[in-house]
Every structure is written in C-alpha cells, then in structure tokens.
Structure 1
C-alpha cells in the first residue's frame, strides 16, 4: 500500500496520480476515505429517507460506498469520477447492479441536466482538491476555484428539494467558508470519537428537515 502513496499530498488532487494508482491496483481493490458505510449508515438513512432517490456520487473512486448503499436498497445511483481507469474497473466489478451507472466526468462539469438530482454525495473528494493547502485558513486560489466549481455544479443539478452531503476530515471553521452560498444553509455535525470526521449538509433555505 505504501508504494501507492504520493510523494507529496498535493498529488491527491491530480488526475495523473489517481490514474496511475488505479492502474496498479487489482480490480477488487477498494479505498474509503474517512469511515465505512457501516459507520455512517444512520446518517444516510436520516438524510436520504427515500430509497428511490436519484443519487450522484461525486468522485466515486473505488470506494465501496455506492455498492454498500446499493445493497442497502438505494438502487438509483450515478457514479462520477474523472479517472477512466477506475470507472472501467468499477463498471466491471459492479456489472450486476442494475440501475447503478458509472460515468467518466469532472465534478466541476457534471453530465446531468439542471434540477434532476435528489442528492449529491461527496465523501472527501473536496478534501483531495484541498491537499495542496499549506495554510488551511488561506487555501490557494486554484483550490478555492476547484471547490467553487464543484459546489456550483451541485447547486445546478439538485432539485429544489435536493440535498448536498459532504463527509470530510476538514473542520467546520475551515470548510464552511468554502461551502457557503446565498440562499443555502450549511450545517454540520461531528461523527466518531477521538479523531473526528464531519458530516455537512446543504439545502435551500426554505427546505427544512
């Protein structure tokens, strides 16, 4: 595993690194940032109460999250990643999952129509974009622009009642300023004990849980 780690953390934010890494891994390899589905299942059920919801996984990688959710009854899942290598692998591994799709695409230019998605789910994809930051209070302009690009696309494709879910190791005082948009609420709760992770959700202000 150590030979797959980048020389610099900033490489986590590059397509080249991920293509090379996925090319070297076996088809059945998987990697999950933060925690497993078992650890966040109660949150998924709380924020996605309807199993037929149209869900988009942003930067799916070879995480087992989509398959775990599929096996839990969420069958309408669209997975997007800019690595064609991992998309082809995941398509093969999950060939029997009817209704789940795998698409090569950039989360900053999502291949979906306006207001067509119920839930956009980011499990540390934004974190990879921010790995180049040396000062978390002042991330570099290119990282801020990349995050803005994803959030802008999320807002575009979500239905008026839609939800953006973001699971991260980034603390709220660092992440909230990057997520805030006029007309949207950004809320967060801590997950886990010891080394904490953070579960963010964004919705239009008129929509309440």
Structure 2
C-alpha cells in the first residue's frame, strides 16, 4: 500500500516574486521539490461539500478540475461518489505524481493541459471547478486596480475555455479570496449568469463565484 502523502501547512517553495505563481517553471520546480506533499489553497472538500453538492447535481456529473495541482479535492470528491472527474494541470511533474498517487481511484483521469487552451470538445463537461488557478494567473506585478493587458488576456483565455467546454446549463465554480470588485469584471460573459457566495472562515472571507451557462 502506498504511503499517504503529507499535507503542506505552509506555502512550500516560495517564489522570489508573486508573479512567478503564474509561470509553469515555478510550479514544475515546486512540485519536483515536494513529491510526496499535498496542498489545498483556500478550502478543502470538507469545507466545500455543501456548496458543491448544491451546484454539481448528481454524482454522475462530468467534472473538470482546472489546475488540479496536488490538492486533495479530487480524491476526496471521488471517495464521496463523484467518480467522473477529469483533472488537468500544465505541470507534467504534478500530473504524473497525482496519476500514481490515485491509482486506486481508476475512473479519474489526469492529463497535462493548459487551462488557457483545453484539449477538450465544446460542451464536454457539466461542471468546471477552479480553486486557486485563476488566482495564480492574476499574480501580476502591476496595479491591482489596473492590471496589465497581458494578465487580463491570460485570464480571459482561461475563462473563455471554461465557458466553451461547459455543456448547456453547466456550471463553472471558482473558489477564490478575490473580492467581487476585483474579480467579477473578468467573468462577465453573455452566455452565463453569475452568483457570488461569501464563504466566511473565522473572520477571513473567501468567495465562490458560480457561473451558470444558459440552457440550449
């Protein structure tokens, strides 16, 4: 039996600059130095179970985990009955680590993909989940009130891809620390509606943005 992965309680291999969080090179280096660790940004499945239960619907839903990293979220969801989960990340290192770590959960898939250019067909999933990936893309050296054109373009590509791969009436759930006046402008699309739910954690607020695509 494989040894259980350790869980990081700090930020591990810290970058010299915050904008490195948005680079593949940083994540490849970090995951290579933490081969047996797991880390969950913001929330665990235990925290998110009620929220996800309301929005995912049946446990046979086709779920896409965007920028899965070495989070415990997919594995915990699988154990709770959500077995149809496709995990993607642009780090070759972490995808191979997670593929091996979750061999006992064979219905999940693990593929190297950039969330800005998903190798999936239109309408391929019922629910897309992002827990921290867009936040990494938003780590920009510029002004938070006036982010750079490059950052905005990267985020727009990722959001457009999430919208494209969602089936009609599908949902994109983004868990973030980002407040609506900073984040909502990046999410506006004619094809969906946006709900924002505040997730309080002992005085610190996180937010769940739930984008529901129009039915066909």
1:91 aligns with 2:112: no
Which residue matches 2:13? 4
Structure 1 spans left out of the alignment, 5+ residues: none
Which residue matches 2:58? 50
* Residues 5-84 of structure 1 mapped to structure 2, 5 A cutoff: 5-27=14-36, 29-84=37-92
Deviation at 1:2, TM superposition (A): 6.3
Question: Structure 1 CA distance, aligned partners of 2:130 and 2:211?
Answer: 12
Question: Structure 2 CA distance, aligned partners of 1:3 and 1:204?
Answer: 36
Which residue matches 2:210? 201
Structure 2 spans left out of the alignment, 5+ residues: 1-9
SS of the aligned residue for 1:152 comes to helix
SS of the aligned residue for 2:139 comes to coil
Aligned pairs, how many? 206
Which residue matches 1:164? 172
Deviation at 1:183, TM superposition (A): 3.0
Once the two structures are superposed, what CA deviation does each residue of 1:134-177 show, in whole Å capped at 9, x if it has no partner? 42221111111111101111111110111000000000111000
Moved more, 170-179 or 184-193: 184-193
* Residues 146-161 of structure 1 mapped to structure 2, 5 A cutoff: 146-161=154-169
Measured on the aligned residues, the alpha-carbon RMSD in Å equals 1.4
Moved over 3 A (4+): none
Question: Structure 2 CA distance, aligned partners of 1:111 and 1:202?
Answer: 21
| TM-score (normalizing by structure 2) | 0.91
